């Protein structure tokens, strides 16, 4: 194992538990043959700091695995898989939910990897070449700790020359298509092997629970960037009078209809549009439409033929447009999964947009990641989800 020195600032970060490594952490150039390998990190005095691996991922170039002198083998992965499993006992015992996160990357001391549970099946997501190169060791350790898993699928969520596919079945039984999972008592149709997405984003379960519990009961709800309509289904399940789902992707109509169908919900009370969200705002305003609740959960980055959307630059526009088609007393559920945007900055963007519209407002609730998306205080970026429930009075 190569020994590589890091600078004083990096050594201090590592000692405090910060796991992500960037090029600026190292003294000198990183040897090419150290990439996608385990390395021993030392301070400027050659004192051991940690065992890490170097592999390009997003803005980083590697991750600290342990600050102990221990072997990185099957037993290492078994230890952290077992620890992750014990933290999810409450979800295993929940009769109303059978889909949740089993392993949340660096939050469970297994950076570069997430594992999601879908009613007996597991979906591995790989985020760098090191993890992909070691997938047999990692999955073998996982199976020992989770023998109840019937089948495993993998998703490759980064550009790599090691694989020419995005999604594949790699172990055990094949899941039915669709695989109907439960979350908060609501059914959702999911697909384990349709590209990178499964049909539901599990990190929003707490927000959907509020809708299931009646947050929009007897009210109208507009679900923007709706994907497969999960927020709409949760709202309808919770007694919403009417839902409208808007997404640019053509597949969203049939996928959303399917989600309502697997719950036996009345499709006649729901509207589904394949349309750019900003265009829909204009359409709704011209038609004099207004909603009691508007859900804003855009991707961090999106592009269509006319516009590039980023949360930091354009989220305020979403808020302003929402106010225009909100009832006199309404609720905006403002959400972002942008890890690079702080909670404080996101709140500022939302508040400034509302102030610009000269309306009275109150942030009545906030949500972040659910407990199964376990995070570490030392790595604030890992707690990426930010949701504000904003009561607006025009």
From the list 293, 276, 291, 274, the residue with the least C-alpha distance to 211 is: 293
pLDDT digits (tens, 9 = 90+) for 329-382: 999 999 999 998 999 999 999 999 999 999 999 999 999 999 999 999 999 999
Q: What class has domain 74-179?
A: alpha beta
At 207, the pLDDT band (50, 70, 90 cuts) reads very high
Grouping H, G, I as helix, E, B as strand and the rest as coil, residue 55 is strand
Q: For 90-147, write each residue's pLDDT tens digit.
A: 999 999 999 999 999 999 999 999 999 999 999 999 999 999 999 999 999 999 999 9
Please determine, looking at this structure, whether the domain spanning 201-393 carries the CATH number 3.40.50.150.
Answer: yes
pLDDT at 305 over 70: no
pLDDT at res. 123: 98
Is residue 124 within 8 Å of 115, Cβ to Cβ?
yes
Q: What whole-number distance in Å separates Cα of residue 307 and Cα of residue 331?
A: 27
What is the mean predicted confidence (pLDDT) over 28-38? 95
What is the pTM assigned to this prediction?
0.95
In the chain, what is the greatest distance between 2 CA atoms, to the nearest angstrom?
A: 71
320: exposed, middle or buried (Cβ count in 10 Å: 0-12, 13-18, 19+): middle
What are the domain boundaries of the chain?
A: 2-66, 74-179, 201-393
**Torsions phi, psi of 36, nearest 5?**
60, 30
Residue 392 is predicted with a pLDDT of: 98
Give the fold, CATH level 3, of 2-66: 2.30.130
pLDDT band at 60 (very low <50, low <70, confident <90, very high): very high
- Alpha-carbon distance of 111 to 127, in angstroms, equals 9
The mean predicted confidence, pLDDT, of the chain is 96
Strand pairing partners for 171? 152
Residue 221 and residue 208 in contact, taking contact as beta carbons nearer than 8 Å: no
Report d(CA 159, CA 126) in Å as an integer.
Answer: 11
CB 98 within 8 A of CB 119: yes
């Amino acid at each position: 194992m190569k020994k590589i020195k890091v600078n004083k600032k990096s050594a201090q970060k590592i000692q405090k538990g910060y796991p992500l490594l960037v090029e600026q952490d190292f003294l000198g150039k990183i040897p090419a043959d150290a990439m996608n390998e385990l390395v021993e990190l030392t301070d400027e005095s050659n004192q051991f700091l940690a065992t890490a691996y170097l592999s390009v991922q997003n803005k980083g170039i590697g991750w600290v695995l342990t600050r102990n002198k221990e072997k990185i083998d099957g037993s290492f992965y078994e230890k952290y898989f077992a620890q992750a499993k014990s933290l999810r006992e409450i979800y295993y015992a929940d009769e109303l939910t059978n889909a949740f996160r089993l392993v949340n990357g660096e939050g469970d001391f297994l950076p570069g990897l997430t594992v999601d549970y879908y009613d007996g099946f597991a979906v591995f997501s790989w985020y760098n070449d090191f993890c992909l190169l070691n997938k047999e060791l990692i999955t073998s350790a996982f199976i020992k700790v989770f023998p109840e898993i019937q089948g495993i699928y993998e998703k490759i969520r980064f550009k790599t020359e090691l694989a020419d596919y995005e999604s594949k079945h790699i172990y055990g039984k094949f899941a039915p298509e669709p695989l109907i999972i439960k979350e908060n008592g609501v059914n959702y149709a999911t697909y384990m092997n349709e590209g990178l997405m499964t049909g539901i984003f599990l990190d929003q379960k707490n927000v959907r629970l509020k809708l299931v519990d009646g947050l929009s009961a007897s009210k109208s709800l507009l679900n923007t960037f709706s994907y497969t309509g999960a927020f709409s289904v949760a709202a309808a399940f919770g007694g919403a009078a009417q839902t409208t789902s808007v997404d640019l992707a053509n597949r969203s109509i049939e996928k959303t209809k399917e989600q309502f169908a697997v719950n036996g919900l009345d499709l006649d009370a729901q509207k589904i549009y394949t349309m750019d969200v900003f265009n829909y705002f204009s359409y709704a305003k011209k038609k004099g439409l207004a909603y009691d609740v508007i859900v804003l959960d855009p991707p961090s980055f999106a592009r269509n033929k006319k516009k590039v959307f980023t949360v930091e630059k354009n989220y305020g526009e979403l808020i302003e447009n929402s106010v225009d088609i909100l009832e006199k007393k309404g609720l905006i559920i403002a959400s972002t999964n942008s890890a690079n945007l702080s909670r404080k900055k996101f709140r500022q963007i939302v508040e400034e947009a509302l102030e610009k519209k000269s309306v009275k407002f109150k942030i009545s609730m906030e949500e972040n990641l659910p407990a199964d998306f376990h995070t570490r205080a030392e790595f604030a970026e890992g707690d990426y989800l930010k949701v504000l429930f904003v009561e607006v009075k025009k």
